[in-house]
Amino acid sequence: MCRRMSAMVLVFGVWAAAPVWAATYAIDPDHSTVSFKIRHLFSKVGGQFRAVEGTVEYEPDHPEQWKAAATIQADSIDTRVEQRDKHLRSKDFFDVEQYPVITFRSTEVTDATATNAKLHGVLALHGVEQPVVLDLTIHGVGKDPWGNVRAGFSASTMINRKDFGLTWNQTLETGQLLVGEEVEISLEIEGIVKQ
């Protein structure tokens, strides 16, 4: 009896000592990137949004508890060309004065494994909300050299900008449109446990 009790205490002690990574992670803007690509004429042009904040709720092996929410400042768009960025902020595109933020909130997780999942959610852009599905990759959880618990994720999706009322374009002499409609979105997110 004493031996069995000792074994139970030992097992409980090992279990209790194991790291538990269930937590809410705040997006670390210094180590996260929200970028995009879209066709321009015969190639693709890329850019990113510099100001993003939000949270990720994550516990390994419990996808039913995974959630994500993010807010992006639309005027933080950066394609490395100042004149183009001004145009993108104008009423022709994002109209940042009327629609200053882009938001995402998750609604469910499907097809989850230890390292991948489909993250379903609602993207609000330019005053329009549309469902989107992100292909999610989970890179892991652990402590940084300063004792902070961090988690890393990658995600990608494709949207049609016209679905969000971003319809500006120009027709070339050949009849081809200057700007494509499909937008590739990529996210590299590192979160830090909120204290």
pLDDT in tens, 93-126: 999 999 999 999 999 999 999 999 999 999 999 9
Map out the domains of the chain with their CATH numbers.
21-193 (2.40.128.110)
pLDDT in tens, 74-83: 999 999 999 9
Q: Cα separations (Å) of 181 from 36, 41, 49, 131, 158? A: 12, 12, 19, 17, 10
- As a whole number of angstroms, the distance between CA 169 and CA 179 comes to 6
Do the Cβ atoms of 59 and 21 come closer than 8 Å? yes
Amino acid letter for position 194: K
User: Does 19 score more than 90 pLDDT?
Assistant: no
pLDDT in tens, 37-56: 999 988 999 999 999 999 99
